[in-house]
Each structure stands twice: as C-alpha cells, then as structure tokens.
Amino acid sequence: MKIGMLTGGGDCPGLNPAMRGFVMKSIDYGFEVWGIREGWKGLVKGIVEDKPMDVARVEELIHQGGTSLRSSRTNPYKDPAQLEAVRANISKFGFDCIVALGGEDTLGVASNLWKDGVPTVGIPKTMDNDLSETDYTFGFDSAVGVNVEAIDRLRDTARSHSRVIVLEVMGRHAGWVALHAGIAGGADFILLPEVPLDIDAMCTQIKKAHARKGYGIVVASEGTELPNLDESEAKLDAFGHVILGDRNVGEFLAKEIEKRTGLETRSAATGHIQRGGAPSAFDRVLASRLGIRAAQCVNEKDFGKMVAIRGTEIVAVDIDKAVGTLRTVPLELYNTLTTLFNK
C-alpha cells in the first residue's frame, strides 16, 4: 500500500502528532507513507518528500505545533487543469490512497475525490472545532488554552487601570473558541457569530460588571456579525471565504463600548498566536488516536471516511456527511451558559 499524506488549510497544533500516529501504525502494517508538501497544492505540482516517512521522520513530532508537511489553501476543484494535475500525480507517484488532514475545505476536496473514484481518508483538524460528525477537532483545546492565558493577562491590566478590554479570537462561522475561552477565562460578555449582536445588552452588562469589580472583559469571535458591514469588496481565499483579518471586530466593539458607557476601553487580538505553539496534552492524545484510526481505515480499505471522536470512542464516519454542514454553537448551550456572565 502506497499512501500520500497531506495537510491543508490553516495550520493548528496536533497536525504533527496526528501524522506521527498515522505513520507509526502504517509502519506496523508495512505501508509506505509519502509526505505531500503544502496541501493540495503539493499534489497539483507534484511536490513529494524524497523518501517515505519513517520513525525518524515522525518520532520527534509529538510536541511540535504547525505542520511539518506545510500547508496551503488550494482548491483543485476550482480549476479543471489543477484537478487533472492532481489525478496525473496520484497515478505518477502510484498512490493507492490519499490521507488528508484538514478542516471542512480540505476534507471537502477529499470527499469530492472519493466521489470521483480516488480512495481517501480524512483526519479532522481545526482550531475552530466546527466540523460535523466529530465531538472535537484537535487544535481547539490548544487554541482555547492560549486565549485563556491571554484573558488572565488582560484581566491584570483591566483591573489595574479600571478598564474594559475586548479580546478578539478566531472563529469564522462558529464561536466555540470564544465560548470556551470566555467561560474558562471568566469573561463578562461573550459574542459569537451564532448570536445576533445586541450592543445595548452588552453595554448594560459591562456597566454592571464594572460597577461591581472595577473592570470588564469581553471575548468576541472574529466572525461576530457587525451592523452595517459591507463585505462586497472584501478579499476572498481559494474557497471563497472572506479574509476576516481586516474586519477588526475587537476594535469596533471597544470603540462602541467606550462611546456608549464612557468607560475606558481597549482591544486586543490573539490572531495567529492562538494557532501556534505546542499542542496541549489533550490535542496530542486526540491527534495520535485519530492518526492510528485512519491507518486502520486504510488497512481495512474503508475509504471515503473521516475518523472522529464520539464521546470517548474513535470512530470512522462518512466523509461527505462531515463536510456538508458546519457544527455551530447551539443557542441553548449559549443561553444556559449566560448565567455565568449576566449578573
């Protein structure tokens, strides 16, 4: 069995431990695993490592963030010539199967390839934690940890200067990172893409928190819907997503809070800081288990699957189900948790 493995989309902690788990188990089966560089772009251009991945190549990856295979946001289905190149390279390198580590976009390509007759297996990653069919994706726990540390640090300054501080965190369509970081960091208000923005309600809450303890902390997803936002001219990535970096949600909210409450307010954003660094212990274990399960799928020729965690079990689910719809934060969950910050 000759397998091509790639990592696509935004990097996140856990990709290296997942490929390590996959390669370790593949060695037991006697498979040859070839690293494809830079996601789908590597398969379009035929950029493959010069020898199969062995124990030495992956052994030291358990604590390394990012992806040692490198990544790109390339969508070969946007361009028939690129898709043709992908097919040609799969046959040139003699790959019997492609293992893709990625989020909705990368796994969407793997799902389409499977429908087009290419054996694929997907391993879910995204710090956004928004993939369907799995309870968690690796990268999420690590990113939440970074953001909680940021909140703890920001609280010191907020308290010292009697300020309000807004922390903007990643999360395009789903607010899992903001919700978990905000709850674990004891935020006074949390804003998610799933919950309509009510600036008055937020300001009322902030004023109460400030009156009580002398400062306030707001955590907001970068994807929070802002009023009168015109994104018709915004830059898009290869999968058609607006590049959110220029939105400056935190800055917008900080200005509004200061204007409406008269409280001195600052904003901060963890940006790509939250996506880098060593994976948490939870992500290392989850990623390792998913990598091993993916190798088992290949061994069983159980293709068109994405490996997933359900409860405490690692399972294989249909990849097309996993990429159809995003797993967003249920409103009931958010509403239940508001008791922690609506005092």
Using CB under 6 A, count the residues that bind ligand F6P: 12
**Per-residue x/- mask for ligand F6P, residues 19 to 58, rule CB under 6 A?**
----------------------------------------
What is the side-by-side order of every strand in the sheet holding 189-191? 189-191, 216-221, 164-169, 265-269
Whose structure tokens read 């919700």?
A: 179
Query: Using the rule CB under 6 A, is 181 a contact of ligand F6P?
Result: no
| Cα radius of gyration (the chain) | 21
Find the length of the chain. Answer: 343
* Alpha-carbon span 122 to 311, nearest angstrom: 19
Which of the residues 204 through 223 are near ligand F6P (CB under 6 A)? 222
CB-CB contact of 222 with 247 (8 Å): yes
User: Does 173 contact ligand F6P by CB under 6 A?
Assistant: no
Binding span for ligand F6P by CB under 6 A among 55-63, 112-120, 121-129, 202-210: 121-129
14 token code pair: 């856990």
Residues 246-305 that bind ligand F6P (CB under 6 A): 275
Assess 172 for contact with ligand F6P (CB under 6 A).
Answer: yes
128 binds ligand F6P (CB under 6 A): yes
Q: How many Å apart are CA 238 and CA 77, to the nearest integer?
A: 10
User: Interface with ligand F6P includes 99 (CB under 6 A)?
Assistant: no
Question: Which entry of 11, 105, 128, 141 is annotated as an active-site residue?
Answer: 128
Q: Which two tokens stand for residue 4?
A: 């091509």
Residue 246 annotated to the active site: no
Ramachandran class of 186: left when φ > 0, alpha when ψ lies in -120 to 50, beta otherwise: left
- Of the candidate residues 126, 129, 134, 280, the single one contacting ligand F6P (CB under 6 A): 126
Q: Catalytic site residues?
A: 128
Contacts to ligand F6P by CB under 6 A:
9-10, 126-128, 170-172, 222, 244-245, 275
